[in-house]
Amino acid sequence: MKIGITGASGMLGTELISHLSKSHQIIATSRTKSVEGRHISWSCFDLTEPASLSGWLENSKPDLVIHCAAIVNVEFCEENFDLASSLHVETTQVISDYLNRNGGRLIYISPIQFLTVKRKGPIQRLISLTQQTFMHRLNLLVKLL
């Protein structure tokens, strides 16, 4: 299977690549590279650029995308709401739209649980937007590994 992994240089992405590249072709993306290997190909770009993201999807044609890219610093998300929204909401919409059109599957590693803990203000707006976009409006299947 051809598996796209976003956030591939991160803690979770690196582990996933190490395990899944033993039996699958991995199309990895983040702004910087991590693990390299025979079944791993990298594209480094900023996911919040929709044209780059769409180009990556169209060119690599993944059967499955494991979307791990995230900003895990909650304070940073609060101070940079538009960026956090762009990375957590809009990228997932672009990926899910592509996969819906092409019969692929999405595993989204949602930061919602992490962001929800005792948060108010901008982060609540982000969570609400995320939930509407992913779970209600698109009826997206959310699976956790």
Ligand X SMILES: NC(=O)c1ccc[n+]([C@@H]2O[C@H](COP(=O)([O-])OP(=O)(O)OC[C@H]3O[C@@H](n4cnc5c(N)ncnc54)[C@H](OP(=O)(O)O)[C@@H]3O)[C@@H](O)[C@H]2O)c1
Q: Which is nearer to ligand X, 49 or 58 (CB)?
A: 49
Tell the burial category of 128 from Cβ atoms under 10 Å away from its Cβ (0-12, 13-18, 19+). exposed
Is 30 a binding residue for ligand X by CB under 6 A? The answer is yes
- Report how far apart, in Å, the C-alpha atoms of 27 and of each of 31, 48, 121 are: 13, 18, 36
Tell me if residue 65 falls in helix, strand or coil: strand
Which residue number, 92 or 99, has a Cβ lying nearer to ligand X? 92
32 touches ligand X by CB under 6 A? yes
Size of the site for ligand X (CB under 6 A): 22
Give the Cα separation of 81 and 69 in Å (integer): 16
**Of the two residues 25 and 43, which places its CB atom closer to ligand X in the complex?**
43
Q: What is the Cα 138 distance to its own chain's centre?
A: 16
Q: Bridge partners of 42?
A: 28
Nearest distance in Å: CB 64, ligand X: 17
CB of 86 to ligand X, least distance (A): 8
Stretch that binds ligand X, among 40-48, 95-103, 120-128, 130-138 (CB under 6 A): 40-48
Nearer to ligand X, 65 or 68 (CB): 68
Considering only the stretches 1-9, 99-107, 125-133, 134-142, report the one whose residues sit in contact with ligand X under the rule CB under 6 A: 1-9
Between CA 86 and CA 92 the distance in angstroms is 9
Q: Judged by CB under 6 A, which of 95, 111, 126, 130 binds ligand X? A: 111
